[in-house]
Amino acid sequence: MIDTHSHIYLEQFHNDFNEVINRAKEVGITKILLPNIDIDSISDMLKTVDRYPDLLLPMIGIHPSSVKANFAEDIKTIEKEIITGKYIAVGEIGIDLYWDKTFVKEQISAFHYQIELAIQHNLPIVIHMRDSYETIKNELGIYSNKELKGVFHCFTGNYEQAEWIINKGFYLGIGGVLTFKNSDLTKQLVNIPLDKLLLETDAPYLAPVPFRGKRNEPSYIKYVAERLAISYNIEINKLISITNDNAKELFNI
């Protein structure tokens, strides 16, 4: 399996990092993709990658919740990093209208700057979308004629949204929310082709059942895969093969 979205460089994993990696390998994880959060997290992320370079792959970007008034300076840092060729994607980027809305204009501007960088360097984008579907839909409209590819990470929307996303050539990142009892995500996804889905954990966040409310980690991706296989009524090995191929295609792994 490939965990396409995991923040295992954060302090929540400092005390048992090697054990977390070993458990990931035990369940069959072959790659873990690390999205960046802000300028301060780049160093820790790269140091983490250096510990397991055959397993861990980094992205570069500014999370929308990290976008502030001085975001232009942060973008300069992202530009310098991206030309090093270390990164497999631009992410995690996007728009978050759930938390603080103080810097919405800045979020939108930072989103566009980073999309342009992705196009320039032929990299996919990893989109954070929270309470912002219509806004992101509108902002992406200007790139309809561009060679833009990517994934809407942690997708929890409805079928109409999913259909629009995949028709634009993007993938859907599916994580622990799929397993929640109050989630109808399986019903929304049932008519979405499997070749448009990616597996992810978003560790340390959004742990699947039976670990909901606890720290998430890459090895828990097996619970997402099992639930998705049941939803699509296929063998789990087939589901893993399809979603792995999707990840390899998108991220050029």
pLDDT at 61 over 80: yes
Quickly state the pLDDT bin for 251 (edges 50, 70, 90): very high
CA gap 165, 152 in Å, rounded: 8
CA gap 167, 141 in Å, rounded: 13
Average pLDDT over residues 211-221: 98
Could you tell me which residues are beta bridge partners of residue 94?
A: 128
pLDDT tens-digit map of 120-174: 999 999 999 999 999 999 999 999 878 899 999 999 999 999 999 999 999 999 9
What integer pLDDT is reported at residue 146 of this predicted model? 82
Query: Three-class SS of residue 2?
Result: strand
Q: Structural domain of residue 16, as residue ranges? A: 2-251
Quickly state the pLDDT bin for 100 (edges 50, 70, 90): confident
Quickly state the pLDDT bin for 7 (edges 50, 70, 90): very high
Quickly state the pLDDT bin for 99 (edges 50, 70, 90): confident
What integer pLDDT is reported at residue 18 of this predicted model? 98
What integer pLDDT is reported at residue 133 of this predicted model? 96
What integer pLDDT is reported at residue 34 of this predicted model? 98
The residues near 237 (Cβ < 8 Å, ≥ 6 apart) are none
CA gap 24, 155 in Å, rounded: 23
What integer pLDDT is reported at residue 174 of this predicted model? 98
Structure tokens at 248: 């390899």
151: domain CATH number? 3.20.20.140
Number of structural domains (the chain) is: 1
Average pLDDT over residues 191-195: 95
Average pLDDT over residues 42-53: 98
Average pLDDT over residues 108-122: 97
Q: How many CB atoms lie within 10 A of CB 64?
A: 29
Quickly state the pLDDT bin for 108 (edges 50, 70, 90): very high
pLDDT tens-digit map of 14-37: 999 999 999 999 999 999 999 999
CA gap 142, 55 in Å, rounded: 36
pLDDT above 70 covers a percentage of the chain that reads: 100
CB 129 within 8 A of CB 136: yes
Question: Letter for the amino acid at 188?
Answer: Q
Supply the pTM of this predicted model: 0.97
